[in-house]
Amino acid sequence: MLATHSGAAADMKYARAQNSMVATGHPLAAAAGQAMLKAGGSAVDAAVAADAVMGVVEPMATSIGGDLQAMLVHPDGSALTCNGTGRAPAALHAQLVDGLPDGRIPERHAYSVTVPGAVRGWSDLHQRYGQLPWRRLFTPAIEAAENGFALAEVAAREWRWFDHVLHADPHCASLYRAGKPRAHGEIFRNPELARVLRAIASDGPDAFYSGPVACAIATGVQARGGLLDEADLARHQGDWREALRADFCGLTVLECPPNSHGCAVLETLVEAGRRCQQLDPASPKATVELVRTTGLALARARETVTDPAGNTVCTVVVDASGLAVTLMSSIFKRFGSGIVAPGCGFVLQNRGFGFAVPGHVNGPGPGKRPYHTVIPGAALKHGAFHAGFGVVGGLMQPQGHIQLLWRLAALGQGLPTALAAPRWRLEAGERLALEAGMPAEVALALREAGFAAPAAGSGELAGRSDFGGAQFVLRNADGSLEGASDPRKDGVALGS
């Protein structure tokens, strides 16, 4: 069911502008990004400021305890990706995992905590593309954490659904008031997080990866039986790589390379374009082929994606110079590992759950990055920037890219229509969930093709299927910009 919005809030889901655009998951984050642009900042300045706010206002989705990936596209179409994902502790040897249930790291086990890469990722982005002083980027996030903010509708609902995660760690239970989830509109203040953000603003990423914050992270994890230590944090660094690309319906689609699974998007679009050449792209049969191809590509990604060396938030910004960035950060599952850095106001991610069994190409190992669901994307048209986009929601991310690009490029739908259209989602076990509003003839064709519905309570969103939340910015042929924020989430699009 789509979130309902009325009045001015609904109007802010879509925007048109001539100079710049911000689309992100919360009005305060969008305002922060727009303020940076108005102050002369770059798209990266705006995206970092917005993402820092998202870590305050959606603590179940992201924080400085999580990871980051970004796609950057210049107006001429040249593109670069920033991989700010963290690695497993140096002490995580495969033998430790062999004795765990099913020979894998459980979803919220202390072994699932990997190095949080977001803060270093922000710094890497700012050093290369920033125009405003580093300190200035964090003012909106610090103010939101210190003074408090009204909890948004969708965030409040997810807080309630995932309250059960908050009870195991006493620091987490205290910080997030386990057992009494905060309601829509309730004011939440996080002065502990404000202090950490203030230190990062003042002293840069070293304030996070060494000293008291690093000590608190290691202490919190080890108290729950985990392995992450201060040396793991101190040695962390991200990297820059060229984007993967493939052609589809007149677009060149850009995705991040592994350990991201963006390769599954490209494989699906290329194969679906080939298979559907003889089909009406609006026909139910074309949808069946698209779902079938997506399933095959995701299966290959699970077997091949690994370190080359769920729950997420997304910000897309295009600035007046034409620089575009899609920045996504995440603590993976809602409230991540459920382990808090004591006294620091944030929960740590559980990306280690993304490792397969020992011996697999994606098996756990010291200092290794796990298979990662975060995939910021972009597209070129006639060799120049055309779109920046991301879809949150774990394994819905590649499936969301595929469906949105299919609707925009193959069906020729407008941006608001494409974002609001009902979606399908392949769940574990190749079961297919269909969002409310799916046309009856499409649903019938999919079920007759053998795509059964998920069992009751088997979805990834507290027993429900999560159909994601997209942020999208599009450059039109006349040079104008369109921005749209998914009606399933709390975000907005703001242009200037």
Per-residue model confidence (pLDDT) at position 2:
33
Number of structural domains the chain divides into: 1
89: in domain: yes
Q: Give the pLDDT of the chain (496 residues) as one tens digit per residue.
A: 233 333 344 568 999 999 999 999 999 999 999 999 999 999 999 999 999 999 999 999 999 999 999 999 999 999 999 999 999 999 999 999 998 988 999 999 999 999 999 999 999 999 999 999 999 999 999 999 999 999 999 999 999 999 999 999 999 999 999 999 999 999 999 999 999 999 999 999 999 999 999 999 999 999 999 999 999 999 999 999 999 999 999 999 999 998 887 888 898 889 887 876 778 889 999 999 999 999 988 887 776 554 444 578 999 999 999 999 999 999 999 999 999 999 999 999 999 999 989 988 889 999 999 988 899 999 999 999 999 999 998 889 999 999 999 999 999 999 999 999 999 999 877 799 999 999 999 999 999 999 999 988 777 787 788 999 999 999 999 999 999 999 999 999 999 9
The reported pLDDT for the residue numbered 305 is 52
Give, for 200, the enclosing helix (H) or strand (E). helix 191-203
In a domain, 430, yes or no: yes
Is 212 exposed, middle or buried, given 0-12, 13-18 or 19+ CB atoms closer than 10 A? middle
CATH code of 282's domain: 3.60.20.40
Within 305-439, residue ranges assigned H as helices are 396-405, 415-420
- The predicted structure's pLDDT at residue 7: 37
Contact (Cβ atoms closer than 8 angstroms) between residue 313 and residue 332:
no
**Strand partners of residue 314:** 328
Residue 234's pLDDT is what? 98
Gap between the Cα atoms of 119 and 84, Å rounded: 8
CA distance 27 to 156: 15
> Do the Cβ atoms of 156 and 490 come closer than 8 Å?
no
Per-position DSSP letters for 204-258, written without gaps between them: -THHHHSSHHHHHHHHHHHHTT----HHHHHT---EEEEPEEEEETTEEEEEPPT
**Other residues' Cβ atoms within 10 Å of the Cβ of residue 280:** 10
Collapsing DSSP to helix, strand or coil, 385 comes out as strand
Has residue 404 been placed in a domain?
A: yes
Q: At 182, which amino acid appears? A: R
Beta bridge partners of 129: none
Q: Are 335 and 60 in contact (CB under 8 A)?
A: yes
- pLDDT of 303: 65
Handedness of CA 23, 27, 29, 33 (dihedral sign): positive
pLDDT of residue 457: 76
- Residue 230 makes CB contacts below 8 A (sequence gap 6+) with 210, 214, 215, 217, 218
Domain span at 67: 7-495
Distance (Å, whole) CA 92 – CA 277 = 48
Torsion of CA 303, 309, 315, 316, to 10 degrees: -90
Residue 2 resides in a domain: no
Whether 120 maps to a domain, the answer reads: yes
Helix/strand/coil percentages in the chain, nearest 5: 40, 20, 40
Long-range contacts of 36-40 (CB under 8 A, 24+ apart): 36/132, 36/136, 36/137, 37/317, 37/319, 37/320, 37/496, 38/496, 39/132, 39/136, 40/131, 40/132
| Measured CA distances, 493 to 22, 49, 315, 372 (Å) | 6, 15, 10, 27
Q: Is residue 433 part of a domain?
A: yes
Read off the tokens for 99. Answer: 């004795």
- Looking at residue 308, what is its pLDDT? 43
Residues 6 or more apart whose Cβ sits within 8 Å of residue 61: 25, 54, 155, 158, 311, 312, 313, 330, 331, 334, 392
Residue of 195, 159, 200 whose CA lies nearest to 180? 159
SS3 325: strand
Question: What distance in Å separates the CA atoms of residue 229 and residue 222, rounded to the nearest whole number?
Answer: 8
CA angle 274–277–278, rounded 5-degree value: 130
**DSSP 8-state assignment for residue 406:** I
Q: What is the pLDDT, as a whole number, of residue 9? A: 44
Angle at 206 between CA 205 and CA 212, to 5 degrees: 115
pLDDT at 307: 43
Q: Does any domain span residue 1?
A: no
Q: Across-strand partners of 14?
A: 484
Distance CA 334, CA 336 (A): 5
pTM for this predicted structure: 0.95
Q: What is the pLDDT of residues 355-388, one digit of tens each?
A: 989 988 889 999 999 988 899 999 999 999 999 9
Please report the pLDDT score of residue 296 as a whole number.
Answer: 87
Whether residue 57 is contained in a domain is answered as yes
Contacts of 407 (CB under 8 A, 6+ apart): 413, 417, 418, 421
**Cα gap 459→464, rounded to integer Å:** 4
pLDDT of residue 300: 79
